[in-house]
Amino acid sequence: MSCRRAVTTGCILAVTAITLTATTVAAKPQTQTPSPPAAPPGWKPPPDMLSALQRDLKLTSEQAQIRLLNEARLAPIEARLRSQIGAHFGGSWFTGTVAQTLVVATTDSSDIPQIIAAGAQGELVKRSFSELDKIMNRTDLTLPNHVHGGNVRFIDVRNNRVVVLTPVPLQTEDLIQASDLDTSVVRAVESAERPRPLGDIRGGDAYYVGPTSRCSVGFSVTSGTQRGFVSAGHCGKTGDATTGANRAAQGIFQAASFPLNDYSWVAVNADWTLRPVVNNASGGTVSVAGSREAIEGASVCRSGSTTDWHCGIIRQRNASVTYARGTVFELTRTSVCAEPGDSGGSFIAVDQAQGVTSGGSGDCDTGGVTYFQPIGEILTTYGLTLLTDSGAISPEPGICAAQPKQVVGTLTEGQSAYQPNGRYYQTTVAGSHLGCLDANDGVDFDLRLQRWENRVWTTVMTSDTPNPDEQINYTGPAGFYRYQVVSSNGYGTYKMGYRTP
């Protein structure tokens, strides 16, 4: 049997070792559980998060606490290295039972010394994360949304490739080859995973849509003076009425998106008081302090109305999942279990909101895989403000705030990113595409509009002044489009607003 046809782990690892020639470099590998690192001033993990990690990850009490301390200590190092490496960045992840090692991948061997000096482990890879992201986008555009095209697709930064999980790997590999995708990068892996929306309808509390449909509250949000919460998109549609766990009238779906996305927001009436907390298994709560994105390999916990409080690990980001009603893009894959009714419930890393439960496979008796819709996209799409224990967190308005669709991002010098949210959008009619970019003073960020033509992305309009702010107004036919934000000079955050025909 050829290696292309094989789906055994040994064959995949052999090919990876040859084609990627990944090199791992560390100052001193750790083989034993280290002593507890020093806790940051005032740091105290939620008690029920420690107990859930012990149960779900099979850790001792000391190991669970060390794990969270390591994640808190290494996360700022990862953010600094990601910025310093820039376009060479190939991904990052935690390894070890207690997350004692932060691995940062790069395509440039000259980055390795500074990675080691910062206290991380360096890994040399062939492709940058931005290259993998482009391959992932093309894979989603090319492979069909049925079983032969795979049930799940994601970027596997640990192996520097794109993985397609499928029950029929031979047929999927044939499709990959026929689509002119690079088979050394896009790999079909046999999997029995059958994700389904967990949409039977509790910031863990339950709410109902109709007499029997139950989902779970994600996080408290505001939109101006209107109060509400975010949840999964498949739980209801715009205009649907909700009742709370006590069956009292609660609110109305203001917007919902499913498939393509899996998010919604519900405006509640004056009888309900918003709280910036997530319920845990003991009847207590965990405070929400912000929405900083956790690193792959970090601990994450989920609250839902069916199975309450469970924890696990963030496995991969940028996952595309095909459900019976269609494909949802840009989900995050985790080892946390969930069951029907947990849909829409909160995913949180210590005190940082991560997202709302979408769907998954398995259950909380035998274990499973669960996907969440990241919180950032929900807030920017609907112009919502996350309620936290220190008040509301909302981006400052800029020149793009008037546009109906909003995204935010961060670029290092020389880096580029695709919007919306690393993907594209489709228009079914011809018309005007208006995009504007609002970046910090002192940087030179440029904006490009691209259209999918003849199986490649073609730039149809560019705005590249020496200023931080750019605007595009382009009239074009129906089709698939995306924006590319490019750092020509400088680094920092940006906001982008856009309008489609």
User: H helices then E strands: how many in the chain?
Assistant: 7, 34
Q: How far apart are CA 124 and CA 192, in angstroms?
A: 32
Q: Of the residues 128, 220, 231, 343, which is catalytic? A: 343
Listed in order, strand segments (DSSP E) in 114-257 are 121-124, 152-156, 161-166, 186-190, 196-197, 206-209, 213-216, 219-223, 226-231, 241-244, 249-257
Residues 6+ apart with CB under 8 A from 373: 232, 233, 261, 262, 263, 328, 330, 331, 332, 355, 356, 358
Q: Of the residues 205, 220, 234, 487, which is catalytic? A: 234
* Burial classification of residue 395, based on how many CB atoms lie within 10 Å of its CB (0-12 exposed, 13-18 middle, 19 or more buried): middle
Q: Are 259 and 325 in contact (CB under 8 A)?
A: yes
Please provide the distance, in angstroms rounded to a whole number, between the alpha carbons at the two ends of the chain. 51
Q: Of the residues 48, 56, 205, 262, which is catalytic? A: 262
Backbone torsion region of residue 40, taken as left when φ is above 0, otherwise alpha when ψ lies between -120 and 50, otherwise beta:
beta
Backbone torsion region of residue 54, taken as left when φ is above 0, otherwise alpha when ψ lies between -120 and 50, otherwise beta:
alpha
User: Helix (H, G, I), strand (E, B), or coil: what is residue 270?
Assistant: coil
Q: How far apart are CA 188 and CA 351, in angstroms?
A: 36
Under DSSP, the state recorded for 107 is S
Nearest CA to 161 out of 140, 182, 190 is that of 182
- CA torsion sign, 160 to 162 to 168 to 170? negative
User: Helix (H, G, I), strand (E, B), or coil: what is residue 404?
Assistant: coil
Residues 6+ apart with CB under 8 A from 154: 136, 162, 163, 165, 316, 317, 318, 319, 320, 333
Query: How would you write 416-478 as a 3-class SS string?
Result: EEEECCCCCEEECCCEEEEEEEEECCCCEEEEEEEEEECCEEEEEEEECCCCCCEEEEEEECC
Q: How far apart are CA 481 and CA 424, in angstroms?
A: 6
Under DSSP, the state recorded for 290 is B
User: Helix (H, G, I), strand (E, B), or coil: what is residue 19?
Assistant: helix
Residues 6+ apart with CB under 8 A from 220: 203, 227, 228, 229, 274, 275, 276, 288, 386, 387
Question: Catalytic: 262?
Answer: yes
Nearest CA to 209 out of 58, 343, 372 is that of 343
Residues annotated as catalytic are 234, 262, 343
